[in-house]
Amino acid sequence: MKSSSRITRVVTVLILSIGSDQVLKELARAFLRFSAPISYLNDFIRMEYAENRGVMLSIGAALSPELRFWIFVVVVGLLLFGMLGYVLWNRAIDPTQTVAWSLLVSGGLGNLVDRVFRGGAVVDYVSVGIGMVRTAVFNLADLLVFTGVFILLIHKTKKNRSTELDKPSEPKK
């Protein structure tokens, strides 16, 4: 893929994704922060405000603020910018991989923005489930990370299958 089209694709995904994530988090702060959860589709979707100082399922939330900063801001930030460099300068990745990596990075950066500018906490605002079986409360950034990883896995699986189909079959004995 040409470098200029790859950079345009990455920047577009980053701006749209991080921008949308931050707008939705501001709306959650404005409308959900001091209200009871709001349910849709017989409580399948529940909008509720939460601040998470850890990662998924609040893992790491009990760590000291200093350790959380070093792990969730410094280390994660370095990893995200490393991934961004990989996407921007790797000529071998195709457009699907470029979008997938860009989604993953933008989701991580969306949550990193929260950690840096919101005292180490990430705003979450939606959960889904049926009855007592519910997901953790999450946000658009989390969904972007999941979507990016999912696309990369599907892409890798398809690539492996097409490689296997392209191999000549061995003659039967």
Q: Print the SS3 string covering 55-109.
A: EHHHECCCCCHHHHHHHHHHHHHHHHHHHHHHHHHCCCCCHHHHHHHHHHHHHHH
Domain for residue 171, yes or no?
Answer: no
Distance in angstroms (rounded) separating the CA atoms of residues 87 and 164: 26
Question: What residues form DSSP beta bridges with 10?
Answer: none
Question: What sign does the dihedral 96-105-114-53 (CA atoms) show?
Answer: positive
> Considering the domain boundaries, does residue 103 fall inside one?
yes
In a domain, 93, yes or no: yes
Classified as helix, coil or strand, 133 is strand
The pTM of this model reads 0.88
Mean pLDDT, residues 120-132 taken together: 95
Rounded Cα distance, 132 and 138, in Å? 17
Tokens describing residue 140 = 């658009």
Predicted pLDDT at 1 = 66
Return all residues near 167 (Cβ < 8 A) that are at least 6 apart. none
Assess if residue 172 is contained within a domain: no
164 inside domain: no
| Through-space distance between the first and last CA atoms of the chain, rounded to whole angstroms | 43
Q: How confident is the model at residue 56 (pLDDT cuts 50, 70, 90)?
A: confident
Q: Is the pLDDT of residue 98 over 80?
A: yes
> Does the residue 71 lie in any domain?
yes
The answer, yes or no, to whether residue 127 has pLDDT greater than 90, is yes
Q: Does residue 173 lie in a domain region?
A: no
Q: Residue 76: inside a domain, yes or no?
A: yes
Domain count for the chain: 1
**Residue whose token pair is 């705003």:** 123
pLDDT at 170: 64
- By DSSP bridging, strand 45-52 and strand 133-134 are unpaired
Domain assignment of residue 142, given as a range: 3-156
Does the structure show a pLDDT above 90 at 114?
Answer: yes
